[in-house]
Amino acid sequence: MMRGIKGRDTLPELAVRRYLHATGLRYRLHDKRLPGSPDIVLPRFGTVVFVHGCFWHRHEGCPYATTPTSRTEFWTSKFTQNVSRDAGNVRALEAAGWTVLTMWECQSRNPILLDELFWRIVSKAPVS
């Protein structure tokens, strides 16, 4: 079952990429040279964007961030590792001078929040 779950080119990620491309932003995808291989890399702005699934990355307060009722210990451990790995990747990227933004799966459906993401990216002065 878990083999069928994609790690890239998910519907939320495609929605964010489509929106950013339509606004004229150009980016790189999944740069393996960076910690965590960010979903969207905007070198011109020194910014990376992670598009996280609410379930897998534990979006606090989100109705999609449920915990399965069977094998609760397994899932709790898995979620804890995911959150810990995400935090380590963010720290490493920020230490390297990147601005790290996170777009959650549930937010990727909201055009207002996509607008907000765009403005957070472009309001930062371009890196020369």
CATH number for position 96: 3.40.960.10
Q: What is the pLDDT of residue 119?
A: 94
In a domain, 101, yes or no: yes
13-42 pLDDT per residue, tens: 999 999 999 999 999 999 999 999 999 999
In a domain, 65, yes or no: yes
In a domain, 60, yes or no: yes
Phi and psi angles of residue 47, each rounded to the nearest 5 degrees, phi first: -125, 140
Q: What is the pLDDT of residue 128?
A: 45
Q: What is the pLDDT of residue 19?
A: 97
Q: Which residue ranges of the chain lie beneath pLDDT 50?
A: 1, 128
- Strand partners of residue 40: 29, 49
In a domain, 128, yes or no: no
In a domain, 7, yes or no: yes
Q: What is the pLDDT of residue 56?
A: 86
Buried b (16+ CB within 10 A) or exposed e, 35-48: bbbbbbbbeebbbb
Which residues neighbour 123 within 8 Å (Cβ) at sequence distance 6 or greater? none
In a domain, 125, yes or no: no
Distance (Å, whole) CA 13 – CA 94: 22
Query: 69: helix, coil or strand?
Result: coil
| HSE toward the beta carbon, residue 10, CA cutoff 13 A | 22
DSSP symbol at 40: E
Structural domains of the chain, count:
1
In a domain, 82, yes or no: yes
Q: Which domain holds residue 51?
A: 2-119
In a domain, 124, yes or no: no
> What is the value of pTM for the model shown?
0.88
Distance (Å, whole) CA 88 – CA 39: 16
